[in-house]
Structure 1
Amino acid sequence: MPASPIDPSLLQLVRQYQPADISAGCFLPLSGLSHHSLKIVLPERTLLARQQPLTPLPFVDRRREFRVLKKLSAGGVVARPLGYNQHWLLLSWQPGEMLTCQQFSEHFREICQALAELHHQPLTGYRLSLTALLEDYWQLCRQKTHHWLQYWQRLKSRGEPSPLRLVPLHMDIHAGNVLRVSQRCCFIDWEYSADGDIALDLAVICLNDPANEMQWINYYAEITGVEPGQFSRQIERWKPWLRLLMACWYQLRAEQTDSPQMQGLARQHWQNLSL
């Protein structure tokens, strides 16, 4: 056990699903931009605990995440979540190899297949509104610029693109959130998952891997039957919204953490904004 004390509410939650003595277990913080997860290594099994953020982070709600995962687990897309309380979400540990950025591009077929499987699941009942989400960021961030306000006002005047089809989304697919397991890929970190336009997940991927954009679009279209041209145009409509969302996320985290890394990433994403 680490020297720092473990949150009693987490210990109580773990004991509900692993009644045996957990004093021999290890609670290991995981690296990542949000720093909200612990790997729990017990003698008989390994778990993942995801903490409710101590500072506000729009849309992140472990109770909603639990319910979304529970619904998706019925279709075999994810393992059934174990439980949650006011402060923590408890999951089984997902083994697998995390992809590098290069491997992310190389395994586009397996990732698209996993995405198509997700998009064929029943709706979760939680509708994503980027307008509401971006408004939350505007309210929470202390440092606001004319550039941000102008960009945001133009997006609001346009309105969100009309969805091609509503499906369950992951909304945060990048190399760090994809594991390769036995010749297939699966997703982790579902805290932004909700129902939204089918083009949104591919739009996120295309922003994270712009050099291979058409490869992603064409293969996804091939295995799902969507029309590539229409799909590509819809992705372009969503990109300005997602660019602003990414910039807002880094801005808020930079203000909350005072991290030079976050501050640099926020500056980079603001510089990437254009209409």
Structure 2
Amino acid sequence: MPVCRIDAELRSVLAQFLPQALQESVALLPVSGLSGIRWRLQGVGFDLLAREASAKKIQIGVGRRQEFRLLRMLNDSSLAPRPLGFSARWLLIEWVPGAPMNSQGWEKVLKTGALAGMLARLHQRQRSGYPLNLQALYEHYWVSSDPDRRSPSWLRLHKWFLRQHLPVSIRQALLHMDVHPGNLLYQQNGGLVLIDWEYAGDGDVALELALLFFGNRLTVEERECFLGDYVLRMPGLDRNHLRWKVDAWLPWVYYLMLLWYESRWQQTGNQDFIALGAPLHRYFSLI
């Protein structure tokens, strides 16, 4: 596939950071994903992924400059892909071999403590300097939702969340904020790599765990096993106190996910997002 098929901004960032990728002999392969357009570029001496941030994601604060700088801070960690360059819309990263985690692999990394260990390593890294602003994210998602679905009761709930103080943090750290099997690569050497860092920033570790637990529908047994493995690797954290902090974040996570489903429905028209959001509408007594 000729490189001319890609847009002008991507050609520009390639010319700046990796000009050899513009040669006609380069293999250009589309890669499926939920986070905008992706191209894999393969040539002599390089294998990279070019990831786009859509206009909608830029509107809600997804920035390739921030993601590039954050990934560069993790260069020595083996936790994330190595960044190569960026523009306003595009991020160039090294291609990471491996496949998204399947259900058996996910169950294994939960039971063995591998996922808990990975997040503990991340949460002990230097913070990025990009603090998460959850309430600003709420507002962005609200604006991008379907106006016809915004009921008076939902507006009251939205304003309530914007007025409230966030739960008191148990420990501030660099968070990934989108940990699920599709964002984990299980490598041949047994290592784990997290991909898709566009939502990452600094925040409370209990928020990360609340998102992990709810977003992946972890059972009570799985949550307890994870917490036990995690606190063993996080000096100074008490398991019971951490559990209480995670529970304090859950309503905030529920509301974040409700808004995300509604925003995705407005963007795609996919009825699956309405179905996914329905239990949260019921939780908040919106239907």
Q: Normalization by structure 1: what TM-score?
A: 0.89
Of residues 90-99 and 17-26 in structure 1, the stretch that sits farther from structure 2 once superposed is 17-26
Q: CA separation in 2, counterparts of 1:131 and 1:101?
A: 33
Q: Which residue of 2 aligns with 1:7?
A: 7
- State the 1:2 CA deviation: 6.1
Q: What is the CA distance between 1:171 and its match in structure 2? A: 0.3
Partner of 2:66 in structure 1? 64
Counterparts of 1:146-185 in structure 2, within 5 Å, are 146-181=152-187, 182-185=189-192
Q: Hey, what does 1:27 align to over in structure 2?
A: 28
Within 5 A, what are the aligned runs for 1:146-225? 146-181=152-187, 182-207=189-214, 208-211=216-219, 212-225=222-235
Cα offset, 1:147, TM superposition: 4.6
Counterpart AA for 1:214: E
Deviations 1:185-205 (A, max 9, x none): 120000001000011221111
Instruction: Please say which of residues 249-258 and 233-242 is displaced more in the overlay.
Output: 249-258
Assess if the C-alpha contact under 8 Å between 1:247 and 1:266 holds in 2: no
Distance 1:100 1:75, change over 3 A: closer
Matched, 1:271 2:279: yes
Measure, in 1, the Cα distance between the counterparts of 2:177 and 2:246: 13
What SS does the corresponding residue of 2:91 show, helix, strand or coil? strand
- How far apart, in 1, do the equivalents of 2:254 and 2:279 lie? 10
- Rounded to whole Å, the distance in 2 between the matches of 1:190 and 1:52 is 12
Aligned partner of 1:36 in structure 2 is 37
Q: Residues 50-102 of structure 1, C-alpha deviation per residue, up to 9 Å, x if partnerless?
A: 11212345121111111111222255543431111232111111112310234
- The corresponding residue for 1:239 is 250
Taking a change above 3 Å as real, the CA distance of residues 130 and 232 of structure 1, as seen in their structure-2 partners, is same
Deviation, structure 1 residue 136:
1.6
Q: 1:267 to 1:114 in 2, by over 3 A?
A: same
Note the aligned Cα RMSD (angstroms). Answer: 2.2
Letter in 1 for 2:158: W
How far apart, CA to CA, are the structure 2 residues paired with 1:46 and 1:202?
33
Instruction: Label 1:130 to 1:270 Cα distance change in 2 as closer, same or farther (>3 A).
Output: farther
Distance 1:52 1:79 in 2: 17
Amino acid at match of 1:22: Q
% identical aligned pairs: 32
Equivalents in 1 of 2:95, 2:128: separation in Å? Answer: 22
Q: What is the distance in 2 between the residues matched to 1:84 and 1:29?
A: 18
1:190-235 Cα shifts (integer Å, max 9, x gaps):
0001000011221111111322222212211222232111111111
Cα separation, 2, equivalents of 1:270 and 1:153: 20
Partner of 2:142: 138
Give TM-score scaled by structure 2 length.
Answer: 0.86
Deviations 1:11-59 (A, max 9, x none): 2322333333531223333222233322222343211111121234512
In structure 1, the gaps of 5 or more residues are: none
Supply the AA of the counterpart residue of 1:139.
V
* Alignment match of 1:251 (pick from 241, 259, 262): 262
Which structure 2 residues correspond to residues 53-92 of structure 1 after superposition, within 5 A? 53-56=54-57, 57-73=59-75, 75-92=77-94
User: Taking structure 1 as reference, are residues 2 and 147 closer, same or farther at Cα in structure 2, changes over 3 Å only?
Assistant: farther
Number of matched residues? 272
SS at 1:55 equivalent: helix
- Give the alignment of 1:99-114 within 5 angstroms: 99-108=101-110, 109-114=113-118
Residue 243 of structure 2: SS of its match in structure 1?
helix
CA contact (8 A) 2:261 2:276 kept: no
